[in-house]
A and B are shown apart, each in its own frame.
Chain A
Amino acid sequence: MPLKDYIGFCILIALVLLMPHLVANDYYLGVLVFTAFNCLACIGLCLLMGYAGQISLGHGAFIAIGAYSSGVLTTMLDWSPWTAMAAGALASMAIAFAVGIPTLRLKGHYLAMATLGFASIIHIIAVAATEITGGPAGLLDIPRLGLFGYSLDSDVSYYYFAWFAVVAGLYFAFNLVHSRVGRGLRAIHGSEDAASAVGINTNIYKIQVFALSAVYASVSGSLYAYYVNYIDPGPFDVMHSIVLVTMVAVGGLRHLWGALIGAVLLSLLPELLSMAAAPLKVIGIAYKPDYDILVYGGILLLIMMFLPEGLFAGLASASKSGTAFLMKLIKGGSIVRQ
């Protein structure tokens, strides 16, 4: 992992430690906890989209599998939350193999199609299998997660725990990217023919990274379930999968930091919009949360038009040319002085 990524980690950890002291109240802390869940899912999705070049339009389904595994196994079978989370991750991995093996062998966007259909099926199951999932009424009384005998009851403790999971997940992802396997994935993205010509089994690699990204999503779903202690099918519709893809694409899918930035920005966006809506109300325009989706769409459109590599790459190149411009100014200044 290059030095600048370690610096990035230091900045991230500093921000995570600082945030609880900066936010005004528990509500905003809660928003940051939800942001962590999205970040975790987006890290996995970024490995799949940015590094292996495959699109999943159904990652919300793996979040649902994680959440419902945790919910059902803890409330109905009295499993420990940790075991339930591991079971959910294993189930997601197995399902990812089942969906991935037939579709990832084909060239083209078959995975996107298959996952889109799969996400609808999972959502329908969550709604219709009322005896297990509770149906539209949902599952109540999911326990909080405990750590070394302490229950993570308070929002602050869960906040630290969720962001620790993000940092750990990001760390694993970075290690992977800078390894033989990560290079293999990026090679597949670059040229599948050339990757197989040096001996990379492209199918196995694509399937493995799809399964890995499903595990990230599943863990994020489990953490969600233990945080809100109540789940219903609402948040796990197909739209949520699309929003995840949007987050990764807006931040920049070629880089893990991009995915993280995209996830944070779009997770906070509804809050920012409702803040911005207050002055609008004064001049007589009523902004409704339903309009959020319009704003999402507009942002995605603008990013794709003006920063197709995403915000992170756009900012990086802007800062580079900015530094170059400053250097020029300084140099120019010193010449003038002479």
Chain B
Amino acid sequence: MSGNDLILELKELKKSFGGVVALDNLSFGVKRNTTTSLIGPNGAGKTTVFNLITGYFGPDSGLLIYRDRPLKGEKPYKTASLGIGRTFQNVQVFADMSVLENVMVGRHLRSRTGLTLSAVLPSFLRPEERRIKEEAWHWLEFVGLERFSDMPAGALPLGNQRMLEIARALAMEPELLLLDEPASGLNSRETIAMGELIGCIRDKAITVMLVEHDMELVMEISDRVAVMNFGRLIAEGTPREVQEDREVISAYLGE
């Protein structure tokens, strides 16, 4: 392990979509084992940051450094294998699969069996299958959804679907977990539960980075807060520092 305590560094990232500038020279770092929130008005480019980190598309220019090595346009399945897990702003559970199976899919990278062996051997002759199930069950319990394990994931209410997405991502045992608006669409009780869950995740020594609009939640759970507006970083610091920043206040009040 190097002396650098940043797990992720963004250096002068630029990205535009057909003339619309989404990111404009964005630079900041994420420390290991912290919870960092990325906030900003709608359209500030927060989700774009997530999509760049996970390789859904590449930056026009600039550098992403993850674990001291630059990411060179690795595809999403590749960034996942490097230990970056994520959830989606518009929840993407596998609706037709059971809740448990959704989490089992999260064990994909931690298991090996390929197509031929899968076809020839029935599941009870594959010890790996039982292991996947047990491990998935563990993460399902971690987010508290075990009583829904046999339900189709699409039948869960939104709050539980967001929890399930997190369980699926945790099953990958990621080093860096990106949560895209985990509390969006949740009621206040669900939001409190989500805050507690994110706290538990950090206790597992997983670096969490989240995009969120619920300021109460952000200020409560974050170690660091980065504020974006029009694709640029306008402030970065502890929740308290950010709350007192003049530029942040004006961005949010819309001067």
Q: How far is the CB of B145 from chain A (nearest CB, A)?
A: 17
Considering the complex, which residues of chain A in the window 251-300 have a beta carbon less than 8 Å from any beta carbon of chain B? 254
Stretch of A117-125, A154-162, A200-208, A235-243 lying at the B interface: A200-208
Residue A176 interfacial (CB < 8 Å): yes
Known: A180-B128, A193-B88. A198 touches B123 (CB 8 A): no
Known: A172-B119, A173-B119, A175-B119. A197 touches B113 (CB 8 A): no
Residue B118 interfacial (CB < 8 Å): yes
Stretch of A24-32, A58-66, A183-191 lying at the B interface: A183-191
Residue B120 interfacial (CB < 8 Å): yes
Considering the complex, which residues of chain B in the window 107-140 have a beta carbon less than 8 Å from any beta carbon of chain A? 107-109, 111-115, 118-123, 126, 128-129, 132
- Residues in B with CB closer than 8 Å to A41 are none
Cβ-defined partner of B76 (8 Å) among A173, A181, A197: A197
Contact A208 B172, beta carbon cutoff 8 Å: no
- Residues in B with CB closer than 8 Å to A202 are 77
Q: How far is the CB of B37 from chain A (nearest CB, A)?
A: 20
Stretch of B92-100, B195-203, B207-215, B222-230 lying at the A interface: B92-100
Contact A198 B118, beta carbon cutoff 8 Å: no
Q: How far is the CB of B55 from chain A (nearest CB, A)?
A: 9
Known: A173-B119, A197-B86, A198-B172. A179 touches B80 (CB 8 A): no
Q: Which of A180, A187, A189, A202 has most B Cβ within 10 Å?
A: A180
Nearest chain B residue, comparing its CB with the CB of A186: B97
- Residues in B with CB closer than 8 Å to A187 are 94, 97, 105
Interface size class of A (residues with CB under 8 A): 20 to 34
Q: How far is the CB of A191 from chain B (nearest CB, A)?
A: 4
Considering the complex, which residues of chain B in the window 75-97 have a beta carbon less than 8 Å from any beta carbon of chain A? 75-77, 80-81, 85-86, 88, 92-97
Contact A186 B123, beta carbon cutoff 8 Å: no
Nearest chain B residue, comparing its CB with the CB of A176: B119
Residue A194 interfacial (CB < 8 Å): yes
Contact B129 A183, beta carbon cutoff 8 Å: no
Cβ-defined partner of A180 (8 Å) among B77, B113, B169: B113
Residue B106 interfacial (CB < 8 Å): yes
Residue B15 interfacial (CB < 8 Å): no
Nearest chain B residue, comparing its CB with the CB of A173: B119
Cβ-defined partner of A1 (8 Å) among B54, B123, B169: B123
Residue B242 interfacial (CB < 8 Å): no
Q: Is the interface of A mostly helix, strand, loop or mixed?
A: helix
Known: A181-B115, A183-B105, A195-B105. A200 touches B77 (CB 8 A): yes
Contact A183 B97, beta carbon cutoff 8 Å: yes
Complexed CA–CA distance, A200 and B54 (Å): 13
Residue B168 interfacial (CB < 8 Å): yes
Known: A179-B123, A197-B85. A186 touches B96 (CB 8 A): yes
- Residues in B with CB closer than 8 Å to A221 are none
- Residues in A with CB closer than 8 Å to B85 are 197-198
- Residues in B with CB closer than 8 Å to A180 are 107-108, 111-113, 118, 128-129, 132
Complexed CA–CA distance, A213 and B120 (Å): 15
Known: A173-B119, A193-B76, A201-B77. A183 touches B101 (CB 8 A): yes
Residue B28 interfacial (CB < 8 Å): no
Known: A173-B119, A181-B115. A198 touches B92 (CB 8 A): no
Known: A175-B121, A176-B119, A193-B76. A184 touches B92 (CB 8 A): no
- Residues in A with CB closer than 8 Å to B108 are 180, 183-184, 198-200
- Residues in B with CB closer than 8 Å to A208 are 115
- Residues in B with CB closer than 8 Å to A173 are 119
Residue A320 interfacial (CB < 8 Å): no
Cβ-defined partner of B169 (8 Å) among A182, A191, A198: A198
Residue A196 interfacial (CB < 8 Å): yes
- Residues in A with CB closer than 8 Å to B88 are 193-194, 197
- Residues in A with CB closer than 8 Å to B77 are 196, 199-202
Q: Binary interface profile of B, 168-207, with partner A (CB < 8 Å = 1, else 0)? A: 1101100000000000000000000000000000000000
Q: How far is the CB of A111 from chain B (nearest CB, A)?
A: 18
Contact B115 A197, beta carbon cutoff 8 Å: no
Interchain residue pairs with CB less than 8 A apart (7): A175-B120, A175-B121, A179-B119, A180-B108, A181-B113, A197-B86, A198-B169
- Top 8 A-B pairs ranked by shortest CB distance? A190-B94, A179-B118, A199-B80, A194-B92, A199-B109, A196-B76, A191-B92, A172-B119
Point out residues on B near A: beta carbons under 8 Å: 54, 56, 75-77, 80-81, 85-86, 88, 92-97, 101, 104-109, 111-115, 118-123, 126, 128-129, 132, 165, 168-169, 171-172
Point out residues on A near B: beta carbons under 8 Å: 1, 171-173, 175-176, 178-184, 186-187, 189-191, 193-202, 208-209, 212, 254
